Structure 1
């Protein structure tokens, strides 16, 4: 079975999130884990990323404001 790996640059072209946010999602188990190739190189399995994107599309999840912004919106009447 052939596995296609993608670099961080390729990942960021597919998933327009910040490096930090992707790392946080990985730590929470909500994003496919990176594979460490060497001390300075990581990659992701492309099919896992594609599956993650497909699940996100299928879930039709709505973005939520962070708690501090929700409180401000409620206080402002919005």
Structure 2
């Protein structure tokens, strides 16, 4: 699989914290952050991540697999 760098980004909006999967790209000595996927509010995102972890093969989003993410990348 292709190694795709990504990180979780936590954004506080209207007193609610949201979780996003983001990718940073460097262009002309500037770093631009692009949101790849939105997990939603923090509580919902954590619950979805725990459920996905327990049944990874069936519940891991197909769009992540297409972008090159796998279990090894997620658990790191």
Taking structure 1 as the reference length, what is the TM-score of the superposition? 0.31
Kindly indicate whether structure 1 or structure 2 has the higher relative contact order, using CA contacts under 8 Å at least 6 residues apart.
1
Taking structure 2 as the reference length, what is the TM-score of the superposition? 0.31
Q: Max radius of gyration: which structure?
A: 1
